[in-house]
Homo-oligomer: A and B are copies of this chain.
Amino acid sequence: MQHIGIKEVATKAKVSVGTVDRVIHNRGRVSESTREKVLRVCEDLNYHPNVLAQRLAADKPVVFVTITPGFSSDNTYWKIPLEGIQKAAREMTGYKVKVENLFFNLADPVSFRKAALDAILLEPDGILLAPVFKREAREFIRKCKERKILFVFLDTIIENIEPLSSFYQDPFESGYLAGRLLSFHLRRKSEILVVNFTLDIENNIHLGNRDKGLRQFFSDNNFRGKIEELNINPADELLLTKKLEDILHHKTRGIFVTSSAHKVAKSLEKTGKSGLMVVGYDLTPDNVRYLKKGVIDVLLCQKPAAQGYGGMMALFNHFVRKIPVRKEQIMPVDIIVKENYRDYRDF
């Protein structure tokens, strides 16, 4: 006997499978006495429903909806999480699961509201959500709660709201970590430069917290040197080179870019760099090029595909496999240098 099922429970409790089924699903028409008897036998035999058979016999599919920022040629970041989402979706074929991907525009809160409405019309069981616009997301989650729709947060979280699970990275922690890494290279009176590309709408909060994390590290470790700051529009490449030339001098030993560092790297390459440790974010092709050249020293990453995959799997595990799901999955800050970037390509 491979697996004890309803049948075995029914036999031992001296009732029919139908009765056991009614007990398990709480759909009435069972006397209290037999109800208790059946439940006791379930305990005794350690009965667990067979998920395969459940999904096979189910008449309605489980429906999941994802709501993430769309991507374009100039902002490809959200392509990667989607790939993880789709990988997970492929693994759900045969389980009677329907996955619908909705997108919104990072520059337009209204597009988010629209996607949110569409999502609810699909009457999903669970939603995977990148709550970029806090206010709109709060509103949406209120509606979900009314309708008993569960949700998982992706990339960011919202304070005081408890989702089924959330997959994200703590930007403050990653900035703090960047401080640690830079500190290996600093001397007594070295200076550091922090570069913020301020027009990066999506990541505004992220960028700020990364910056704060770095500063906290140096304040915690009584660093004596100076931390310069440069806030700039990423489109102004010429300006960037000029400003960097102005601001860098012989005491500067480290640069921390709170987002993608390839533009800084490009400028540095012109200027000529020596004894400068450059730390930035994200394993994009542009960044990798400068990592390989040795202009960028460290990239901090968060496995965006794994986040998308994990978020979908959290829904799957909860609704289909019915196993407990971690409330929170803080993605490790992966430290990537020239020598190990290859290993992370597939994440």
Most chain B CB within 10 A, of A2, A181, A335, is at: A335
Smallest CB gap from A342: residue in B: B330
Chain B nearest Cβ from A266, distance in angstroms: 22
Chain B nearest Cβ from A279, distance in angstroms: 10
From B180, B340, B344, A337 is in contact (CB under 8 Å) with B180
For chain A, which range describes its interface: under 10, 10 to 19, 20 to 34, or 35 or more residues? 35 or more
Cβ contact within 8 Å between B3 and A94 = yes
Smallest CB gap from A59: residue in B: B2
Cβ contact within 8 Å between A52 and B56 = yes
Dominant SS among interface residues on chain A: loop
The residues of B that contact A339 with a CB separation of less than 8 Å are: 173, 176-177, 180, 217, 333
A49 to B77 CA separation, bound complex (whole angstroms): 35
Chain B nearest Cβ from A171, distance in angstroms: 13
The residues of B that contact A181 with a CB separation of less than 8 Å are: 184, 337
Chain B nearest Cβ from A339, distance in angstroms: 4
Q: Knowing A177-B339, A343-B330 are in contact, say whether A297-B52 is a contact too (CB < 8 A).
A: no
A338 contacts chain B at the CB level, 8 A cutoff: yes
Cβ contact within 8 Å between B343 and A332 = yes
A105 contacts chain B at the CB level, 8 A cutoff: no
Could you write out 25 A-B pairs with CB less than 8 Å apart? A2-B61, A48-B93, A50-B56, A50-B94, A51-B94, A52-B53, A52-B56, A56-B56, A91-B321, A173-B339, A173-B340, A177-B337, A177-B339, A177-B340, A180-B337, A181-B184, A181-B337, A184-B184, A184-B185, A217-B339, A330-B343, A332-B340, A332-B347, A333-B339, A334-B335
Q: What residues make up the interface of A, taking CB atoms closer than 8 Å to B?
A: 2-3, 48, 50-53, 55-56, 61, 91, 93-96, 173, 176-177, 180-181, 184-185, 217, 277, 297, 321, 323, 330-335, 337-340, 343-344, 347
